Amino acid sequence: MSTTTTVFEWLRAEIESDRDQIAAMTPADYARSAVDTVLTPGLAIRSTVHACVYAINHAEAGAESTFSLFARPLSAACWRPRDDVQASLLSVLLLGVFTTRLASLPADPVLATLVGLQAIPLAVDLLHAIAEVAG
């Protein structure tokens, strides 16, 4: 069997798996996927902040990063609520940078609004951390 045949078989299996997952999705799943797609840059920044806090505080293998507004940005056995708070406060610091001239937001109001929307995950992150620590 050639390598090309193996690759094609693997691709076919992946596509079939994707089709099965799509067929099992509910309208709520589609809505979550759409929100995550629109907010991808902000979600990537949020997950990066959490990964940096994890690397500084723990530096252990086994953490899983997620790029979804509806899931924790980082999942690890040693992750503590205070780590969430620390990462969320750094997210707020990044939000502050967006309000300065350093951010150089676009002059076009539509583009500026789009960039502002990308900051939503950073704001939601703090609210999520406070709710988790409080309850």
Are residues 65 and 50 in contact, defined by beta-carbon separation less than 8 angstroms?
yes
The whole-number pLDDT of residue 122 equals 84
Q: pLDDT tens string for the chain (135 positions)? A: 566 678 889 999 999 999 999 899 999 999 988 888 888 888 898 899 999 999 999 988 888 988 888 888 888 999 888 888 899 889 888 888 877 777 777 788 888 888 788 888 888 888 888 887 787
pTM summary value: 0.73
pLDDT tens digit sequence for 73-105: 888 999 888 888 899 889 888 888 877 777 777
Domain ranges of the chain: 1-38, 39-134
The whole-number pLDDT of residue 4 equals 66
Are residues 81 and 132 in contact, defined by beta-carbon separation less than 8 angstroms?
yes
- Token digits of residue 102: 């350093």
Buried b (16+ CB within 10 A) or exposed e, 10-44: eeeeeeeeeeeeeeeeeeeeeebeebbeebeebbe
- The rounded mean pLDDT for the chain is 85
Residues paired with 75 in a beta bridge: 64
